[in-house]
Amino acid sequence: MKAVTRRVLLLAGSLMLFGLASCASNASKEELQQLDERRAQVKSMQNKVGELTNEKKRVEQEVQQKKQKLDQAKKEKEAVLKRLEEIEKANQGAGQ
């Protein structure tokens, strides 16, 4: 995630420098095309960062839900084992 953000910032910085350099002289068609390509790349990378951020949030929520289910299952297991132990004690007491 940091690598993507770092790339976006690096690309944006490159665009700014490229833009400043092209402002100093008349930009050629090729330079303008490169600038447009870079802008498209920046936009694409920003979209990707947004998608990855959303995916991260979704996965974190999923992990949290699974942790809650696991905690609930542990509590239920503990209760069942306790009841089983009580039944065994009751059976042993009744058998004597």
Q: Cα(50)–Cα(43) distance, rounded to whole angstroms?
A: 11
Domain boundaries, the chain: 2-95
Q: Which residues contact 65 (CB under 8 A, 6 or more apart)?
A: none
Please indicate whether residue 79 or residue 13 has the higher confidence score (pLDDT): 79
Which tens digit of pLDDT belongs to each residue from 40-68? 999 999 999 999 999 999 999 999 999 99
> What single-letter DSSP state applies at residue 25?
S
Q: Which pLDDT score is estimated for 18? A: 65
Q: Cα(90)–Cα(96) distance, rounded to whole angstroms?
A: 10
* Least confidently predicted of 6-15, 37-46, 71-80: 6-15
Please determine, for residue 8, whether its predicted confidence score (pLDDT) is greater than 90. Answer: no
Per-residue pLDDT, averaged over 36-40, amounts to 95
